[in-house]
Structure 1
Amino acid sequence: MKNHIGPYRIYLLLFVAGLISAEIIWSWKKGKGVYHLKETFSSLAVFAGFQFFKYLFAGYQLALLGFFSGHSPFKLPHNGWVLLLTFITADFIYYWFHRISHLWKPLWAFHMVHHSAMRMNLTAAYRLNWFSALVSPLFLIPAAPLGMPPDFIVICYALNLAYQFLLHTEAVGRLGRIEKVMDTPSAHRVHHGRNPLYIDKNFGGVLIIGDRLFGTYQPETEKVVYGLTTGFLSHNPFRLVLQGFIDLFKPASSKSHAVCSPPVFDASPEK
């Protein structure tokens, strides 16, 4: 199996590197300035740590989902329709997991690093907390007792995150009617904005239907200001990953690095 999987990983890596390179060239030619050397390397460092911990926690994730799947009163078969059902279910669960991650401080501690980039580009998608694998399977548990195969659940969640990589860019504009159903770069730019109008909007993964149903959809109507509401945090990957947990132990009156608190437009320059 490893012999077959290895080449696909290489092709995927080359594909991602190609997209990032194309975006860098686009940014340079258009004078967009969406890449900053220190910020880009900090994003890649965060992603390297995420990859290490992803493999470290993989057994825990499958064991947890397998346990609850084993207690399901029925089991759905491995076929295309069940895969589609699992994908839609995982996307719906992701909407609520993502929304709660903005509203509840303990989960925001895991998610904060993803909003710490001051620019929107494809490498910003890789700002994923190293320990997020400890909590994300807990939200996927409801799919297991419904009879959905654990491997399908993991695959669909992974595909959801993979799709979101493509959303972190300014190179793609509005996409018309597609935006009524799908999450798009435009919708996701809004999600990363610290503009008062954009705070806590557009939580969808692949589909934007949840946001439209539950009143959290916001179209891109003004220039997006990216980053945390408290402004620039750090280029240190360890601080980026751990700052949210440090904030948990701060008094409520102290300054915390939140995107869901009243907006504070800090113009502090990056160092």
Structure 2
Amino acid sequence: MDSINVYFLGFVFVALLAEIIWSTTKKKAVFNLKESVGNFGILVGNNLLKPLSLAWKYLVFDWVASFRFFEIPTGIFTIALTFLVTEFAYYWYHRLSHEVPVLWTLHHTHHSSIWMNLTTAVRLNWLGNFISPLFYIPLVLLGFSPEIIVTSLAVSLFFQFFLHTEAVGKLGFLEGIFFNTPSAHRVHHGSNEKYIDKNYGGMLILFDRLFGTYQKEEEKVKYGVTTGFLSHNPIVINFSPLLQFLKGSWKREKQRVREQGVNQLIRKQ
């Protein structure tokens, strides 16, 4: 496992270096030093919590596995099926993280950056890893292997890391068919009204097509959230939305946009 982590970090470092060289050569303002330092601060926090979050994940899955209705044998077909249903569960977890206000307080961390680069991929809420396993409990109850579920999520998250970039343009006929792409994920990070709550897929864009949440990249993406810049401080980025929710002053993006539209209409009248 240690060797896998070394290879992963090496691959990530090379990709990040390539993106920095690309942005410098093309004079693309996709990086902000303070923002990138803040993102890495969030990454450090998640790594410090990783032993605890992994222990929690396996504790939940092992406990639930004792109540499973079936036991699905492991084979090439069932591994592929497990990956597919895990992506399905991820789609709904991700979608609900935008649509349910308390979950949005956690996912907001990932979306509050107004820059799009590979460091944005590691901007993940510290509490999120303790909530996400709960959404895969139905799969374990149905007999899917917890180990393969966790592996499927790891593969998907590795793939998603490379979606957080402007260095890769649209991929022609590959857009919006089966796999997620950097273009589709740039849309997901947009605060443009037509981009909000779109393209929830992880490694696959398939379920967005099936459930009507796919949106292709048509206009320049305005990254971040509708309230604009939040902070470079990892603690503020992680906990400010949750505190606002507890104070009763928290709204999800779609609700905020609708209220802004109503207010503008009232002013015109």
> TM-score, structure 2 length as denominator?
0.92
CA distance in structure 2 between the partners assigned to 1:248 and 1:203 by the alignment:
23
CA distance in structure 1 between the partners assigned to 2:129 and 2:45 by the alignment:
12
Tell me the residue number matched to 1:259.
253
Tell me the residue number matched to 1:162.
158
Query: For structure 1, which runs of at least 5 residues remain unmatched after alignment?
Result: 265-271
How does 1:90-105 map onto structure 2 within 5 Å?
A: 90-105=86-101
Tell me the residue number matched to 2:189.
192
**CA pair 257-117 structure 1, distance change in 2 beyond 3 A:** farther
CA distance in structure 2 between the partners assigned to 1:124 and 1:237 by the alignment:
13
Letter in 2 for 1:191: H
CA distance in structure 2 between the partners assigned to 1:251 and 1:144 by the alignment:
35
Q: Could you tell me how far 1:251 is from its partner in structure 2?
A: 3.1
Task: Please state if 1:126 is matched with 2:122.
Answer: yes
Q: Could you tell me how far 1:237 is from its partner in structure 2?
A: 0.3
Q: 2:77 aligns with which of 75, 81, 101?
A: 81
Task: Please state if 1:202 is matched with 2:199.
Answer: yes
Tell me the residue number matched to 2:105.
109
1:230 touches 1:257 (CA, 8 Å); kept in 2? no
1:146-199 CA-partner distances (Å, limit 9, x unpaired)? 111111111111222111101000011111232211111000000000001101
CA distance in structure 1 between the partners assigned to 2:193 and 2:224 by the alignment:
12
CA distance in structure 2 between the partners assigned to 1:247 and 1:103 by the alignment:
17
1:7-34 CA-partner distances (Å, limit 9, x unpaired)? 2221211110110010011001101110
Task: Please state if 1:17 is matched with 2:17.
Answer: no
Q: 1:8 aligns with which of 4, 8, 16?
A: 4
1:115-155 CA-partner distances (Å, limit 9, x unpaired)? 01111100000000111121101100111011111111111
Tell me the residue number matched to 2:265.
none
Tell me the residue number matched to 1:239.
236
CA distance in structure 2 between the partners assigned to 1:89 and 1:215 by the alignment:
18
Q: Could you tell me how far 1:80 is from its partner in structure 2?
A: 2.2
Deviating more after overlay: 219-228 vs 205-214: 205-214
Q: Could you tell me how far 1:109 is from its partner in structure 2?
A: 1.2
Q: Could you tell me how far 1:99 is from its partner in structure 2?
A: 0.6
CA distance in structure 2 between the partners assigned to 1:151 and 1:141 by the alignment:
13
Q: 2:53 aligns with which of 57, 75, 86?
A: 57
Tell me the residue number matched to 1:267.
none
Aligned to 2:246, the other structure's residue is in SS state coil
CA distance in structure 1 between the partners assigned to 2:252 and 2:48 by the alignment:
26
Tell me the residue number matched to 1:215.
212
CA distance in structure 2 between the partners assigned to 1:155 and 1:124 by the alignment:
22
Deviating more after overlay: 144-153 vs 183-192: 144-153
Letter in 1 for 2:240: Q
The structure with the greater share of residues assigned to helix is: 2
Aligned to 2:253, the other structure's residue is in SS state coil
How does 1:174-189 map onto structure 2 within 5 Å?
A: 174-179=170-175, 180-189=177-186
2:105 touches 2:241 (CA, 8 Å); kept in 1? yes
Q: Could you tell me how far 1:258 is from its partner in structure 2?
A: 4.5
CA distance in structure 2 between the partners assigned to 1:93 and 1:46 by the alignment:
25
Q: 2:246 aligns with which of 234, 246, 249?
A: 249
CA distance in structure 1 between the partners assigned to 2:139 and 2:52 by the alignment:
23
- Alpha-carbon RMSD: 1.4
2:101 touches 2:251 (CA, 8 Å); kept in 1? no
> TM-score, structure 1 length as denominator?
0.91
1:69 touches 1:148 (CA, 8 Å); kept in 2? no
Aligned residues with identical type, % of pairs: 45
